[in-house]
């Protein structure tokens, strides 16, 4: 299985001179707000830390592993939010890796008594790297002996590129509308279309990362309190549309929170076929919130021998607004929005 994975990644790498890379997307989009839209920076009155891990298709050894972390802080006197995020994505047991770091700024404009709009900007760098020594090409495989003959590995005649690492500037922007019950936003990632090709042999073979368009939104409805000291029970239906290059997806579902427990269920459909049913649940205790989600594959990939395995995600959010001092500040301020599922 590992040999097949290396062959697959090798094929994909060779095709990067004509194909365009796609971004990893978290199923728990509510637990990765800055990944979803830079305008989310500062939507809490206190610092917020988020940590995300995604393991996609685990039956293929380390097929797609993604880590992300972010920090954000509102500066109320400036009507602004600031943030920073980092992400590492590894494909094919680390054969193809992407590292990203970016800074984020958002500015809040009050349109009415309870309606606000935030404009977010993101700028940073990402680096892509290929481990050439792990690649396996067709001319390295013998029909009888496999990758080695008498213990000697077969060599490939493929020409190694002059550089196996690229470092690129990247820029994105987003806008977010929200009030007490409704939110919605639009994000445009990779506005400058950074060219991440490793093979600079023809200027016409442009391998820039395609623009990623995300349209997302939802509503939030309080269902009452558990008790005098308990938190509000609420339900939040939401939707997300993502398009990048020729591929895209639509995600529809509902999130429910009551007291310290929360969860949700979503259905994700690619443009051409059904993709996955997503289930998540988690708990909140003080400033900590931890959540787990499970993507159950419903596409034809589920019929592949031995399967690809379903996708797992874990998210940790540390939202300091739940501290006692900030709780008093929250009650005395005009802070009011429909982001309970994000906080």
Please check whether residue 340 lies inside any domain of the structure: no
DSSP conformation letters of 176-212: EEE-SSEEEEEEEE-TT--B--S--S-TT---BPPPE
Token couple for 325:
């001092």
**What was the pLDDT predicted at 21?**
60
* Tokens 């596409």, residue located: 299
The overall longest dimension of the chain from CA atoms, in Å, is: 78
**What was the pLDDT predicted at 16?**
43
Please check whether residue 269 lies inside any domain of the structure: yes
Secondary structure element (H or E) that encloses residue 12, with its range: helix 2-14
Token couple for 275:
């993709």
Please check whether residue 305 lies inside any domain of the structure: yes
Task: Sort residue 105 into left (φ over 0), alpha (ψ -120 to 50) or beta.
Answer: beta
Please check whether residue 338 lies inside any domain of the structure: no
Please check whether residue 265 lies inside any domain of the structure: yes
DSSP bridge partners of 129: 97, 165
Please check whether residue 342 lies inside any domain of the structure: no
Q: What whole-number distance in Å separates Cα of residue 172 and Cα of residue 121?
A: 6
CA 43 to chain centre: 19
Secondary structure element (H or E) that encloses residue 78, with its range: none
- Residues spanned by the domain of 103: 2-332
**What was the pLDDT predicted at 19?**
42
**What was the pLDDT predicted at 254?**
97
**What was the pLDDT predicted at 1?**
44
Q: What is the CATH number of the domain that holds 148?
A: 2.40.160.40
**What was the pLDDT predicted at 176?**
97
Please check whether residue 137 lies inside any domain of the structure: yes
Radius of gyration, CA atoms only, the chain: 22
Q: Would you say how long the chain is, in residues? A: 343
- One digit per residue, the tens of pLDDT, for the chain of length 343 reads 444 444 444 444 444 433 456 788 999 999 999 999 999 999 988 899 999 999 988 777 667 899 999 999 999 899 999 999 999 998 877 788 889 999 999 999 988 888 999 999 999 998 888 877 666 666 566 555 556 555 556 666 666 767 778 889 999 999 999 998 999 999 999 999 887 766 554 555 556 788 999 999 999 999 876 555 556 799 999 999 999 988 899 999 999 999 899 999 999 999 888 889 999 999 999 899 999 999 998 877 666 656 667 899 999 999 987 665 555 555 545 455 788 888 7
pTM score, two decimals?
0.83
Q: What whole-number distance in Å separates Cα of residue 327 and Cα of residue 55?
A: 35
Looking at the 3D structure of the chain, how many domains does it have?
1
């Amino acid at each position: 299985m590992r040999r097949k994975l290396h062959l697959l990644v090798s094929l994909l790498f060779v095709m990067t001179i004509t194909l365009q890379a796609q971004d990893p997307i978290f199923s728990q989009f509510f637990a990765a707000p800055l990944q979803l839209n830079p305008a989310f920076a500062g939507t809490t009155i206190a610092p917020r830390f988020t940590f995300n891990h995604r393991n996609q298709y685990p039956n293929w050894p380390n097929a797609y592993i993604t880590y992300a972390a972010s920090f954000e802080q509102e500066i109320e006197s400036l009507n602004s939010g600031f943030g920073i995020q980092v992400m590492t994505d590894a494909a094919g047991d680390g054969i193809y890796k992407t590292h990203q770091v970016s800074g984020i700024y958002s500015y809040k404009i009050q349109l009415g008594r309870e309606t606000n709009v935030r404009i977010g900007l993101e700028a940073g760098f990402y680096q892509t790297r290929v481990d050439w020594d792990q690649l396996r090409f067709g001319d390295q495989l013998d029909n009888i002996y496999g990758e080695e003959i008498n213990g000697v590995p077969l060599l490939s005649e493929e020409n190694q590129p002059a550089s196996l690492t690229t470092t690129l500037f990247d820029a994105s922007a987003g806008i977010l509308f929200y009030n007490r019950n409704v939110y919605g936003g639009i994000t445009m990632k990779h506005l400058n279309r950074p060219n991440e090709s490793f093979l600079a042999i023809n200027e016409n073979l442009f391998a820039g990362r395609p623009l990623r368009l995300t349209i997302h939104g939802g509503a939030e409805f309080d269902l009452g309190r558990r008790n005098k000291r308990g938190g509000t029970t609420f339900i939040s239906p939401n939707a997300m549309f993502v398009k990048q290059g020729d591929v895209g997806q639509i995600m529809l579902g509902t999130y429910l929170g009551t007291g310290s427990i929360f969860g949700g269920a979503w259905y994700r459909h690619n443009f051409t076929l059904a993709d996955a049913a997503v289930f998540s649940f988690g708990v909140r205790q003080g400033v900590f919130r931890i959540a787990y989600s499970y993507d159950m594959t419903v596409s034809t990939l589920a019929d592949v021998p031995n399967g690809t395995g379903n996708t797992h995600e874990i998210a940790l959010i540390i939202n300091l607004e739940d501290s006692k001092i900030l709780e008093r500040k929250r009650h005395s301020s005009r802070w009011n929005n429909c982001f309970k599922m994000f906080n």
